[in-house]
Structure 1
Amino acid sequence: MRTLFVKWNQLSLVKRILIGMIVGIILALVIPGATGISLLGSLFVGALKAVAPILVLCLVTAALSRHRQGQQTNMKSIVVLYAVGTFLAGLTAVIVSFLFPVSLSLVTTSEELSPPQGIAEVLQTLLLKIVDNPVNALIGANYISILAWAILLGIALRHAKEGVKEVVSSLSDALTRIVRWIINLAPFGVLGLVFEAITTNGLESLLDYGRLLILLVGCMLFMALVVNPLIVYLKTRSNPYPLVFACLGESGITAFFTRSSAANIPVNMRLSEKLGLDKETYSVSIPLGATINMGGAAITISILTLAAAHTLGIHVDFGTALLLSLLSTVAAAGASGVPGGSLLLIPLACSLFGIPNEIAIQVVAVGFIISVLQDSCETALNSSTDVLFTAAADRARKRKDGVIKAGQA
């Protein structure tokens, strides 16, 4: 048993997760009634969600408290990459929707939902989240507020005694160690998540919406394998694919099953450390990306909105569709980092074309039907891109510094 345990730990995390996936599929097909297996997935996701808020608070506070005056960070460059990536995702979705228009089988009823009524409401919600009570923010995983309080605490603690800074830093390191323990249990968590997905949903419910699902997933794959690598290449001037595949393999796979950008923050923190990125930067950019870097959400919002317009026979010129790309970029930043968070923003985009809220809510219902795969792929794209763009900005800065030093020499 000890030998088996040692060999298991010698395998890479990705290989262990793949083994967990395969075992989960087999168990779901052989003993679908063993519902207790799905508890492994719930425990894993619950552990990640529990540790992520306090981890973000401590990491950002510790990083800013240790920041020295004049020390350069890369946040401006990363935020620009986040914005460009999300806009291009929305634009790609618009172009794909024009090339391959799809119609929806709209349902006659829908659940009572409370989507945003306008772009002003989305922005207002973001501003109100910033001033949330810090205790409420930690309990409710309000990362906008957590980031705001962490930044304020970090800046305030720059003037504290070194002993206080060491305590904050030690607490941050301790939480990071706990995260490593949780991440090592990822294969068992993925096993439970796969088992639950297959036994609960299956694939039969997706057959009627296969074309829409293929369009969504295909667009997300195009972003992940073509557009994002192009952005990284233009930023780093080097082959982007080793970094792209590393992010998709370690961050994307886990995010695919957790279906939560927030829950995947610890995974991305660990990957950023493994890639040797600047901790002062990624401790802020990763939780920020989980909140505003939502390329997958922009794709979902754009494609489903244009599908609704096509179904209703509404003519959409490309100028208006381009405006939809901008709207989806802003709206996606307001999407919550939880499963299905982007779907409630579809009525906001539908309002751009005068689509009644009653019809838009039916489109949301269609989104929930296909969300088994759509939301998983969306989260995988969103979360893996957080690390990808952080790493690209880090490498671009190091490349620039190297050129400057060479020139000085």
Structure 2
Amino acid sequence: MKNLIHKWNQVSLVKQILLGIVIGVVLAVTIPDAANWVTIFGTLFVGALKAVAPILVLFLVMHAISSHKSGQQTNMKSILILYGIGTFLAALVGVVASFIFPVTLTLTTGVEDVTPPSDIVEVLKTLLFNVVDNPVNAILNANYIGILTWAILLGLTLKNAAETTKNAIANFSDAISQLVKWVIKLAPLGILGLVFEAIATNGLSALKEYGQLIIILLGCMLFVALVINPLIVYIYVRKNPYPLVFRTLRESGITAFFTRSSAANIPVNMGLCEKLELDKDTYSVSIPLGATINMAGAAVTISVLTLAAVHTLDIEVDIATAIILSVLAAVSAAGASGVAGGSLLLIPLACSLFGIPNEIAMQVVGVGFIIGVIQDSCETALNSSSDVLFTATAEYAKDRKEGKEVIIHS
């Protein structure tokens, strides 16, 4: 048994996860009823990630800020710029693709009892209220904006604390990081359960009617992941970006695809940043921040579904309005973490730009929920993998500027 476990541990995590995916698919297709018990693995895995992530973010950020020495540079400004550029360009890709390949919808109902935000001010107001949330409440509800705020403030106030206090925080940070590593080792089993549940429960038959819409959404997200993001990386680093792009998609995107939660993927991204030997003081802040504001996938979803509603209603759209939609989608996507329902419930806000009534817009949201099994998975994979990609890009760009050799880990 020890030899078997040793050999299993020698296999890379990505290969272990791929094996879990294959087994999950086979079980869901062949014996869905008899193997229904495997879904508990997926539930436990996601639950464990969500449980450890808030405490991980609190202590890592607090430790990074409190131990930061004056004059020591971080790349947060560059990372924030990259997050903004990536999200805006993703929204623009969604707009352009929707004009080249216009899609009309068979509208649906079923979400009339959900209240979306009325305007962008409401979205931003929700985010601001999350900033001043009670710290205990923020941790209990996984409010990462609130957790980040308290971690930064506590970190700043602890900069002048005794070394013993800083060492205690560092020890807690290391201990929680070790717990995360243990949880991530269970990823193959967790992914197996998630894949089985997704196929056995949802199937793909409900998605056929909206096939064209799904193709546009996935095409846009793939274009952003494989063309736009690599282009941004190349401009900053002047090196072949694809080894880094493929690694982030492989080691971050796959788990995010199945967990469908950027928050749950924070520990995975932290681990990947450590493997890439990035600056811990930077990524301990940029990764949880990216999970809340770096939303390229959400920007694509908002743009494409809004313009699908526009085409369905035969509304004429000029170039200026299309650009305004791109900006609105990018800003809305960055605030999606503050809205229950995420990107889908921000569609009525974008639809209001074209005078589309809320009753129609909510029917579009209903379509979004139907295709959510695919849309949300791909959206999260793009969002989460981009967090690591842009964090690494900022650090490599800094090294290049300082004349250091840039080595992109594949």
CA contact under 8 A between 2:126 and 2:339: conserved in structure 1? Answer: no
Q: 2-side partners of 1:109 and 1:60: how far apart?
A: 41
Report the counterpart of residue 188 of structure 1 in structure 2: 189
Q: Which moved further from structure 2: 313-322 or 188-197?
A: 313-322
Report the counterpart of residue 30 of structure 1 in structure 2: 30
Q: 2-side partners of 1:178 and 1:248: how far apart?
A: 24
Consecutive aligned runs of 4 or more in structure 1 exceeding 6 Å deviation: none
Report the counterpart of residue 408 of structure 2 in structure 1: none
Residue ranges of structure 2 left out of the alignment (5+ in a row): 406-410
The superposition leaves residues 233-289 of structure 1 with CA deviations (integer Å, 9 ceiling, x where unpaired) of: 001111100000000000000000000000000000000000000000000000000
Q: 2-side partners of 1:339 and 1:215: how far apart?
A: 25
Alpha-carbon deviation of 1:403?
5.7
Q: 2-side partners of 1:226 and 1:263: how far apart?
A: 26
Alpha-carbon deviation of 1:6?
1.2
Alpha-carbon deviation of 1:121?
0.2
- Root-mean-square deviation (CA, aligned residues, Å) is 1.3
Q: 2-side partners of 1:187 and 1:337: how far apart?
A: 31
CA contact under 8 A between 1:87 and 1:326: conserved in structure 2? Answer: yes
Report the counterpart of residue 396 of structure 1 in structure 2: 397
CA contact under 8 A between 2:123 and 2:338: conserved in structure 1? Answer: no
Alpha-carbon deviation of 1:337?
8.5
Report the counterpart of residue 364 of structure 2 in structure 1: 363
Q: 1-side partners of 2:275 and 2:404: how far apart?
A: 25
CA contact under 8 A between 2:111 and 2:362: conserved in structure 1? Answer: yes
**Compared CA separation, residues 14 and 244, structure 1 to 2 (3 A):** same
The superposition leaves residues 120-177 of structure 1 with CA deviations (integer Å, 9 ceiling, x where unpaired) of: 1011111111000000000000000100000000000001000000000000000000
> The residue matched to 2:402 in structure 1 has which SS?
helix
The superposition leaves residues 302-325 of structure 1 with CA deviations (integer Å, 9 ceiling, x where unpaired) of: 000000010011111111011000
Report the counterpart of residue 124 of structure 1 in structure 2: 125
Alpha-carbon deviation of 1:31?
1.5
Residue ranges of structure 1 left out of the alignment (5+ in a row): 405-409
Report the counterpart of residue 284 of structure 1 in structure 2: 285
> The residue matched to 2:336 in structure 1 has which SS?
coil
CA contact under 8 A between 1:339 and 1:375: conserved in structure 2? Answer: no
Report the counterpart of residue 385 of structure 2 in structure 1: 384
Q: 2-side partners of 1:402 and 1:10: how far apart?
A: 37
Q: 2-side partners of 1:350 and 1:301: how far apart?
A: 9
Q: 1-side partners of 2:136 and 2:37: how far apart?
A: 33
Percent identity for Structure 1 against Structure 2? 68
Report the counterpart of residue 151 of structure 1 in structure 2: 152
CA contact under 8 A between 1:261 and 1:338: conserved in structure 2? Answer: no
Q: Where in structure 2 are the equivalents of 1:3-402 lying within 5 Å?
A: 3-33=3-33, 34-336=35-337, 341-402=342-403
**Compared CA separation, residues 163 and 109, structure 1 to 2 (3 A):** closer
Alpha-carbon deviation of 1:329?
0.7
Number of aligned residue pairs: 404
Q: 1-side partners of 2:129 and 2:152: how far apart?
A: 17
Amino acid in structure 1 at the alignment position of 2:59:
C
Q: Give the TM-score taking structure 2 as reference length.
A: 0.97
CA contact under 8 A between 2:127 and 2:338: conserved in structure 1? Answer: no
**Compared CA separation, residues 9 and 368, structure 1 to 2 (3 A):** same
Q: 2-side partners of 1:391 and 1:369: how far apart?
A: 35
Amino acid in structure 2 at the alignment position of 1:10:
Q
Amino acid in structure 1 at the alignment position of 2:31:
I
The superposition leaves residues 50-84 of structure 1 with CA deviations (integer Å, 9 ceiling, x where unpaired) of: 00001000000000000001110000000000000
CA contact under 8 A between 1:260 and 1:338: conserved in structure 2? Answer: no
Alpha-carbon deviation of 1:119?
0.6
Q: 1-side partners of 2:133 and 2:152: how far apart?
A: 14
CA contact under 8 A between 2:109 and 2:366: conserved in structure 1? Answer: no
Q: 2-side partners of 1:63 and 1:276: how far apart?
A: 16
Q: 2-side partners of 1:325 and 1:393: how far apart?
A: 24
Q: 2-side partners of 1:334 and 1:291: how far apart?
A: 8
> The residue matched to 2:329 in structure 1 has which SS?
helix
Report the counterpart of residue 407 of structure 1 in structure 2: none
Amino acid in structure 1 at the alignment position of 2:23:
V
CA contact under 8 A between 2:116 and 2:346: conserved in structure 1? Answer: yes
Alpha-carbon deviation of 1:340?
5.1
CA contact under 8 A between 1:236 and 1:399: conserved in structure 2? Answer: yes
Alpha-carbon deviation of 1:108?
4.5
Q: Which moved further from structure 2: 395-404 or 347-356?
A: 395-404
Amino acid in structure 2 at the alignment position of 1:206:
L
Amino acid in structure 2 at the alignment position of 1:388:
L
CA contact under 8 A between 1:258 and 1:264: conserved in structure 2? Answer: yes
Alpha-carbon deviation of 1:3?
2.0
Amino acid in structure 2 at the alignment position of 1:5:
I
Alpha-carbon deviation of 1:37?
0.8
CA contact under 8 A between 1:290 and 1:337: conserved in structure 2? Answer: no
Alpha-carbon deviation of 1:334?
1.1
